[in-house]
């Protein structure tokens, strides 16, 4: 059976890698072609609205999927795609990533960043000492933190305006003014990752 959605049969294409993760298909939901999605975005209703197009990778090919219907249930979008009308149609989608082109993202206010904009940026101190590249962003009750691949181990840097004094995502560089001993104190083992499509404001306090 042929499913709706255009396909680009080029598994080596860089287009997929340049897209932004906004969710992962968790599992089929019901019998009429719906799926539950684990969101990786702060803008669930906007991103997973009827008529919106998301991309996934099926059998090594990039494929677009048009959302036919959507609702939010227990904090997760439950959506259906055009051309996929039964549970059997959507079962192959379980576990697949859903992405969108970067230019489809909502512009953010100054001082706010998407996680993918920060990952890969080189962190250095105001004195010019290189700390390392950002490998992921983590969040919790205390706020967001940059996890940096330091010389000896990972280093956690609070994403706060008084510490991350200059963030230049175009130049892929973050300049920090950490309190004395912060870098040594915040060295840690490599750990988990945060959501990829999240919006991340810098705190005005000592770390979000």
Pair of tokens at residue 141 = 């009750």
Q: Are residues 57 and 34 in the same domain?
A: yes
pLDDT at 3 over 60: no
CA distances from 132 to 59, 84, 125, 150 (A): 36, 45, 10, 5
CATH code where residue 85 lies: 2.40.30.60
The Cα 22–Cα 99 span in angstroms is 5
Pair of tokens at residue 24 = 């992962």
Q: Are residues 128 and 79 in the same domain?
A: no
Q: Are residues 117 and 80 in the same domain?
A: no
Where in the sequence is the domain holding 163, given as residue range(s)? 112-201
From 104, 132, 157, the end of a domain falls on: 104
Give me the mean pLDDT over the 125-141 stretch.
89
Chain segment 45-90, per-residue pLDDT in tens: 999 999 999 999 998 899 999 999 999 999 999 999 999 999 999 9
Q: Are residues 86 and 174 in the same domain?
A: no
- Higher-pLDDT residue of 9, 84: 84
Sign, CA dihedral 132-138-140-143, equals: positive
Quick one: which of 190, 122, 129, 179 has its CA closest to 155? Answer: 190
CATH code where residue 151 lies: 2.30.30.240
Number of domains the chain is built from: 2
Q: Are residues 98 and 146 in the same domain?
A: no
- For residue 186, being part of any structural domain is answered with yes
- For residue 206, being part of any structural domain is answered with no
Pair of tokens at residue 17 = 């890698």
* pTM of the shown model: 0.68
- Higher-pLDDT residue of 181, 177: 177
- For residue 196, being part of any structural domain is answered with yes
From 104, 133, 157, the end of a domain falls on: 104
The Cα 41–Cα 22 span in angstroms is 5
């Amino acid at each position: 059976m042929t499913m709706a959605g255009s396909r680009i049969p080029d598994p080596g294409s860089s287009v997929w890698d340049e897209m932004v993760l906004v969710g992962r298909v968790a599992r089929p939901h019901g019998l009429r072609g719906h799926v539950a999605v684990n969101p990786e975005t702060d803008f669930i209703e906007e991103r997973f609205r009827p008529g919106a197009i998301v991309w996934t990778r099926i059998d090594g090919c990039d494929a677009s999927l048009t959302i036919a219907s959507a609702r939010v249930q227990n904090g997760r979008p439950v959506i259906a795609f055009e051309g996929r009308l039964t549970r059997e149609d959507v079962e192959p989608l379980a576990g697949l990533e859903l992405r969108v082109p970067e230019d489809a993202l909502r512009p953010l206010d100054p001082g706010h960043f998407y996680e993918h904009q920060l990952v890969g940026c080189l962190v250095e101190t105001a004195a010019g000492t290189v700390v390392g590249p950002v490998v992921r962003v983590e969040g919790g009750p205390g706020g967001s933190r940059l996890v940096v691949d330091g010389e000896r181990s990972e280093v956690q840097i609070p994403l706060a305006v008084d510490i991350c004094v200059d963030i230049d995502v175009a130049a892929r560089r973050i300049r920090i003014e950490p309190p004395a001993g912060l870098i040594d104190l915040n060295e840690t083992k490599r750990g988990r990752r945060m959501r990829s499509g999240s919006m991340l404001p810098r705190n005005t306090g000592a770390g979000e």
